[in-house]
Structure 1
Amino acid sequence: MSNELDISKHDDRDPNPWLAMYLDSSIPINEKTKQALMRDNNSKSARYLLPFVQLWSKITMFFIHIFKFIFPKLFNSSKILHRMLAWGLKTWVSPDANLLIFRHFHVGSDILSFIWANIDGVETKSSPLRPKNFEDVKDDLFLLHDLNLYNFVINLNSELKSKNLTIKQKSDLDLSMITEDQFDHIQFPNKWTNILDLRSAIELFTPFYQLFLTANDFVRASNSLQLDETIAIYTAQILGTPGHLGLVNNKHPMVPATTYSAAYRLVLHGLASETLHEILVNLKLGKSKDGVMTPKSK
């Protein structure tokens, strides 16, 4: 743990907001993820570089939007995009930010697998994405993440309607797919160039995402963030405990938000996934966040 998150360094006249958030236990989240996120928020990159990156990103996206309107099929290459993303993550992004990015795919895969495994009568299955290194990023990782999410919602609801099924509370939960992976097996680069915080990295990558994907792929990726509410509702129906819906900030998927806010909403998407996953981890371990014992999984 960095000095900034050390309680012994606390100054009553100059309290660190990220120390407060780190010590607060009201929001369920993986401990290692929480440390990484708070260090990332308190990094020099987030404090000094991010405002300039955000301004550059919005201006660049505006001109790319015009360019793609005139030349919609030029520069469309998911392969080139993901090779650039893999290089950028490895070369410029901090270890904490890389940890948060890589964890997100594993956490999301766990949640989708949990949903289909706990709806009786459905055969719809998710397509897990569990990247282990930067080479895995090159296999259209980010694009597949968005496609998998939409295909999961479409296939699941199509099957529910065709079989006249509904998502119901399940007392005998299957939590076998929920992992407690701490990513200790992945050594993220920590060279002098690895300085970018999570939000700066996303803001920098978003214009390239817009440039090298088709307009449909980019808009779909942006709109997929609002499916946080949809996935949270599915889980609440299974658990019978809707309290965690209050932790979801990306809402109302039938009313799409502008793509210019995609970078910020992507961070909120990651946080929503982490909190929901931690709730499922606590259930698997047979305890809730407040220590009250709950039925263990089969």
Structure 2
Amino acid sequence: MKDNILDLSKHDERDPNPWLALFLDDSIPINQTTKLVLMRDNSSRSVRYLLPFIEVGSKITMFFIHIFKFFFPKLINSSKVLHRILAWGLKRFVSPDANLLIFRHFHIGTEILQFIGGNIPNVKVAGDPLKPRNFEDVKDDLFLKHDLNLYNFVIRLNRQLREKNITIGPPEQMNLSMITEDQFDHIDFPDRWTNILDLRSAIELFTPFYQLFLTSNDFIRASNSLQLDETIAIYASQILGTPGHLGLINNKHPMVPVTTYSAAYRLVLHGLAAETLHEVLVKMKLNKNADGVVMPKR
């Protein structure tokens, strides 16, 4: 299937390929490389044969870890060990397509926060840019920092908005200098016979490790951070002056948290939401440059 995802000559009207249909459809803004690898990932053997078993096993394991952490909340807590396990697992067992989607997410997430911070006058929100280039970068608490960045960004931003009595709105001149068109052709992901896990299977397998090696606060905060998709999308819509892309957000209502057992699925939706918003910004930048508008430097 990996080689035939775009083979229209093999289209069978009695048995149409759903992933080919979604790849050809352009109703949702998304990077074309991302769309290709996501459709290949969805059609992989790992999704068909491994994911159903992994999902069940992951939730059962999380249930017992939940009980264990209730009685021994501080017995096993090590973000460093967790991220070494994640780096090792990503490198040896996750497919190149899934790794691309995971690594790319940190880059576009960083750029989206920089876009919001860079387009609100009189506001300066210092952050911790996360743009991993290899598996060694994962070991530096990459996933934990990603979650912390989101909450710290919201807190720092809104503290300044309140102190300075600022309302977010369209700026006089849009700053898109931080938005890139990175296709990730500079990262050579491993493609050995063991690199077979699709994106959702990898997340389902890693989630129990996340729960085990982080404190309860860190794990619950990481799960709840997914619902900040709506918050970040609203900030972006206020800057862009249009709410159109809000319809693409599925992780909503951050003030009403949901169970951590659905974190893996919602994490995939989180990645898709980030990709669609980033593509909207990329197209805006390309259109402005094509019209001869000089983008302000950051």
Q: Which residue of 2 aligns with 1:122?
A: 123
Q: What residue is the counterpart of 2:71 in the other structure?
A: 70
Given that residues 286 and 297 in structure 1 are in contact (C-alpha distance below 8 angstroms), is that contact kept between their aligned partners in structure 2? no
Matched position secondary structure for 1:4: coil
Does 2:40 match 1:39? Answer: yes
What is the Cα deviation at residue 297 of structure 1? 3.8
Structure 1 residues 80-123: Cα deviation after superposition (integer angstroms, max 9, x where no partner): 00000000000000000000000000000000000000000101
Residues 186-223 of structure 1: CA distance to partner in whole angstroms, max 9, x if unpaired?
A: 00000000000000000000000000000000000000
Deviation at 1:235, TM superposition (A): 0.3
Matched residue, 2:182: 181
Q: Percent of counterpart pairs with the same letter?
A: 74
Corresponding residue pairs, total: 295
CA distance in 2, matches of 1:90, 1:118: 37
What is the aligned partner in structure 1 of residue 53 from structure 2?
Answer: 52
User: How far is 1:6 from its partner?
Assistant: 1.7
* Distance in structure 2 (CA, Å) of the matches to 1:3 and 1:231: 36
Partner of 2:9: 8
**C-alpha separation in 2, matches of 1:108 and 1:157:** 19
Alignment-derived partner of residue 258 in structure 2:
257
Shift of 1:295: 6.8
Deviation at 1:22, TM superposition (A): 0.3
Does residue 167 of the first structure (1) align with residue 168 of the second (2)?
yes
Give the letter aligned to residue 21 of structure 2.
A
CA distances 1:160-188 after superposition (whole Å, capped 9, x unpaired): 00111110112410000001111111000
Output one character per residue of 1:130-175: Cα deviation in whole Å (capped at 9) or x when no partner: 0000000000000000001100000000010011111011241000
- Comparing 149-158 with 166-175, which one deviates more in the overlay? 166-175
| Aligned residue in 1 for 2:159 | 158
Name structure 2 gaps, 5 residues minimum. Answer: none
Normalising by structure 2, what TM-score? 0.96
Q: Secondary structure at the match of 2:154?
A: helix
1:143 matched to 2:120? The reply is no
Q: Where does residue 272 of structure 1 map in the other structure?
A: 273
1:219–1:259 CA contact under 8 A, matched in 2: yes
Task: Tell me the equivalent position of 1:202.
Answer: 203
2:92 is matched with which residue?
Answer: 91
- Give the drift of 1:126: 2.6
Q: d(CA) in 2 for partners of 1:190 and 1:37?
A: 16
- TM-score, normalised relative to structure 1: 0.96
- Letter in structure 1 aligned against 2:39: M
Counting only pairs closer than 5 Å after superposition, residues 99-114 of structure 1 correspond to structure 2 as 99-114=100-115
Q: How far did 1:7 drift?
A: 1.5
CA distance in 1, matches of 2:37, 2:160: 39
C-alpha separation between the residues in 1 aligned to 2:211 and 2:5?
Answer: 36
- Offset at residue 125 of structure 1 (A): 2.6
Q: Cα deviations across residues 34-74 of structure 1 (Å, max 9, x unaligned)?
A: 00000000000011110000000000000000000000001
Question: How has the CA–CA distance of structure 1 residues 184 and 255 changed in structure 2, closer, same or farther, with 3 Å as cutoff?
Answer: same
Inter-partner Cα distance in structure 1 for 2:6 and 2:265: 24
* Cα distance in structure 1, aligned partners of 2:293 and 2:168: 20
Pair 1:162–1:233, CA change in 2 (3 A): same
Distance 1:270 1:12 in 2: 31
Query: Equivalents in 1 of 2:105, 2:49: separation in Å?
Result: 25
> CA separation in 2, counterparts of 1:265 and 1:88?
21
The CA deviation at 1:293 is: 7.3
**One-letter amino acid of the counterpart of residue 259, structure 2:** T
What is the match of residue 246 of structure 2?
Answer: 245
Residue 22 of structure 2 aligns with which residue? 21
Q: SS state of the match for residue 112, structure 2?
A: helix
SS in 2 for 1:3: coil
Give the secondary-structure state (helix, strand or coil) at the position aligned to 2:81.
helix
